[in-house]
Amino acid sequence: MDKKLLEILVCPLCKGKLLLKKQELICKFDRLAFPIHDDIPVMLEHEARVISLEEKDEL
């Protein structure tokens, strides 16, 4: 994924910074992982996956 794009992307909920991990963009604050399809981040809350506390601790 484009690093510059990553820099301007924020969480649609809290407007916070996102963490890129594998093929997902993660907001630690909301514990949501937004998928990236074909290099295009899907910044939609209903498309996001809720990450477990355990998973969050590993970030």
Binding segment (CB under 5 A) for Zn ion, from list 7-15, 36-44, 51-59: 7-15
16 sits near Zn ion (criterion: CB under 5 A):
yes
30 sits near Zn ion (criterion: CB under 5 A):
yes
Render the burial of 31-41: b for 16+ CB within 10 Å, e for the rest.
bbbbebeeeeb
* Distance in angstroms (rounded) separating the CA atoms of residues 12 and 20: 15
Q: Which is nearer to Zn ion, 14 or 38 (CB)?
A: 14
Per DSSP, 4 falls in state: H
* Interaction site with Zn ion (CB under 5 A): 11, 13-14, 16, 27, 29-30
